Amino acid sequence: MVATTTTSVFNLDAWMKQKATGSVMIEHVGDFSSEYIDSVLPSVEQNLNTYIEQDNVRKRAFHIFIECIQNLYHHIESNPSLIDSYADDKLGAIVMTKDELGCRVSTGNFVSKAKMQSLGQRIDRLNAMDADEIKQLYRDTINNRDFSEKGGAGIGMIDMRRKTGNKLQYAFYEVKDNPELMFFSFDVCIS
């Protein structure tokens, strides 16, 4: 089961705790400014050097981490003020862990309910493709699609699916007292 939608009340602290298993290389909740990303990259690289021996896996994991954290930079839009302690105008979350199965990057952000279906369908389509189909889609997309208004190239998820060879995992959680928002939980495994 790759995708889930749950109607349970969403709790960000519980989500973080659930994701932060194994060796935690980074965990952060808040805004994702360019300055924050600058500040965190050296320690993430240092942790990857500590936890991952194989050069190519370590390099791939860092690449996926950059795509994930920059997705948050481009796409987090709001903070529904669920929890008083998170006062940032924009709220997202990231956790990167390593266990015996490999490395995992988990991200979370709030999306409008209207976007939920198309986002889920898009990931489902990528997960259903084989390696050759993904490669071709990547090439077609990079060649034909323009940058989005937010400056993203729209190929991050295709690239993550292609480079890891693993299915992208996601879930949507309903947000208490806010019927227009969903929490989008997204996981990429690098093994």
Partner 1 sequence: MEAITIEESSKTPYIFMDPEKGVLEIKGRSIPENSIEFYKPLTDMLSEYSEQEMRKTTVKIQLEYFNTSSSKCILDIFKRLEVMYRKGWTIEIFWYYDEDDEDMYESGEDYQSILTCPISLVEVKY
Does position 70 interact with partner 1 (CB under 8 A)? The reply is: yes
Sequence-ordered list of residues with C-beta below 8 angstroms from that of 40, at least 6 positions apart, any chain? 26, 28, 69
Candidate ranges 6-14, 98-106, 114-122, 154-162; the one touching partner 1 (CB under 8 A): 154-162
Q: How far is CA 178 from CA 44, 79, 112, 114, in A?
A: 34, 11, 10, 13
Nearest approach, Cβ of 127 to partner 1 (angstroms)?
18
Q: Which stretch binds partner 1 (CB under 8 A): 55-63, 77-85, 109-117, 165-173?
A: 55-63
Half-sphere exposure of 74 (CA within 13 A, CB side): 16
**Residue 77 within binding range of partner 1, rule CB under 8 A:** no
Closest listed residue to residue 27, CA positions, set 11, 15, 10, 9: 15
d(CA 187, CA 95): 9
Stretch that binds partner 1, among 87-95, 99-107, 120-128, 150-158 (CB under 8 A): 150-158
Q: Does 19 bind partner 1 (CB under 8 A)?
A: no
Residue type, 36: Y
Smallest distance from partner 1 to CB 60, Å: 6
We find the least distance from the C-beta atom of residue 156 to partner 1, in angstroms, to be 5
DSSP letter at 168? P
Of 115, 159, 174, 178, the residue at the interface with partner 1 (CB under 8 A) is: 159
Judged by CB under 8 A, which of 1, 151, 177, 179 binds partner 1? 151
